[in-house]
A and B are shown apart, each in its own frame.
Chain A
């Protein structure tokens, strides 16, 4: 009796074994992507910078030396100290530790970048799909509106919007999101337009697949690569744009720990108290560089045709 049950038990594959077989192709592909990505030094540098940024965002408040300085403690006896063992990046005009404020600033930048990119995608992708896949009059209307937005330089338009809403970090983010979505509409519209007439989409139609099914199975998955690449690049650009708004006083306001605002305040203390502006500037530089190199690397890996073209 036990003999009879044994072979049956061994022929039923475990769930893990089954998954491994069914996703063998995906695993092979992922390995190939990782290999291609790892071969590029600049992509790896981007990955390291992005990971460092994300780690600082996640654990920043627990590793900084003076967490209470993040929102602007007043310690005038210690104001404008040069970098030292106690204050690696020096102190600002209120005596706050700049290292602390710069590291905590990653949080501000992260949510700014993620919110702007996220909102832009949330609006841009559905509109792009609607325009590219369904076409017709819907497409003309969507694309003309998009063109109007694209015709005006983004930051200038954002400035106008913030000026009318009133300064503040939330208004800055909102303004930047409003000028950011047209890029996604353009990207996805072009992609969906070419995908729509692919033979496999036509084949799906001849099988009686619904639009929802075609979008889910064929159009959206094939839009992911360019989308991920653009989103990664845009994280950097959105952080830079938000810092620009902070710098000219329309975005985050001191004492909020925001890099652009910090540089703006520190600017008046240049060049004698150079550390005040330089360290936030270095952080902006490395973050934007990181996301750009990372995005470039992703494009070389995921979207090989367009990087060659």
Chain B
């Protein structure tokens, strides 16, 4: 099977500093891949590379097998439609001057939907999908809670009927009680729309809830990868072990399978 989105031997430099070195990663259609690592490990840079917001020093970016490393905006139409992003901080991810309707309408307008009623129905449907009623349609971001804003961001990301969502720590700026709701929502949406997820987090426990596979990134290098259960239960790399140990669990014991889910639900995600 051809990966929906992939990087091959990608290196990104900021001056002399290599934020990402020789990383290869593939996201299969419908799969959910976690990408974990501490801050500064290069997770977000890699995500920006996949979105073609960040130029690479070397390596290739592939979509459906086609090289899009240096494609101009005209050649990125498929990427702009099929791959959408949800950012970490919903407070800055929405233009404060646009109502919920206008924010969600933007991707539709870019895709060329111009019929007013059609647009309206589509937006109402999208908001419904993320659990927001019609009363939110004309609100401004400052009139929404953090969780509601993140739902709007997810609705906006789904507007183009993408095949993949790139999620950049979508829950870490939210209250713990809201985090679990957003995770639940993402799980449901993934099933409903058969989405592929690239889920970025510094928290292995959350990744376990959403992903089947995980890659651990440290200082721009992938140090471990594999099925989530395997990496979580029998981490090979000392860094992964430390990362797992740093996640709190009920009673202070090491995390384990179902207990993680329970712990996450009981205590919130951190």
Contacts and interface: CB of A to CB of B under 8 A. Distances in A.
Contacts of B227: none
A29 B99 CA distance: 12
11 contacts: A22-B99, A22-B138, A200-B94, A202-B53, A203-B153, A206-B53, A206-B83, A206-B84, A208-B81, A210-B73, A217-B98
A88 to B, nearest CB: 48
Interface in A184-224: 198-200, 202-210, 213, 217-218, 221-222
B110 A198 contact: no
A25 interface: yes
Given A200-B93, A200-B94, 4 more contacts: A25-B139, A200-B95, A203-B156, A213-B110
Nearest to B88: A199
Interface string B161-188: 0000000000000000000000000000
A31 interface: no
B95 A222 contact: yes
Contacts of A203: 85, 87, 93, 153, 156
Nearest to B160: A207
Contacts of A204: 106
Nearest to B143: A25
Contacts of B89: 199
A77 interface: no
A206 B5 CA distance: 14
B97 A222 contact: yes
A12 to B, nearest CB: 12
Interface of A: 21-26, 29, 198-200, 202-210, 213, 217-218, 221-222
Contact of A23 (B81, B107, B138): B138
Given A23-B138, A217-B98, A208 B110 contact: yes
Interface residues of B, number: 32
A91 B96 CA distance: 55
Nearest to A207: B107
B106 A199 contact: no
B138 A206 contact: no
Given A202-B87, A222-B95, A24 B110 contact: no
B110 A209 contact: yes
A271 B101 CA distance: 66
Contact of B73 (A24, A208, A217): A208
Nearest to A219: B95
Contacts of B92: 198-200
Contacts of B98: 217
A203 B143 CA distance: 20
Contacts of A205: 53
B43 to A, nearest CB: 16
Contacts of B160: 207
A181 B261 CA distance: 60
Contacts of B107: 207
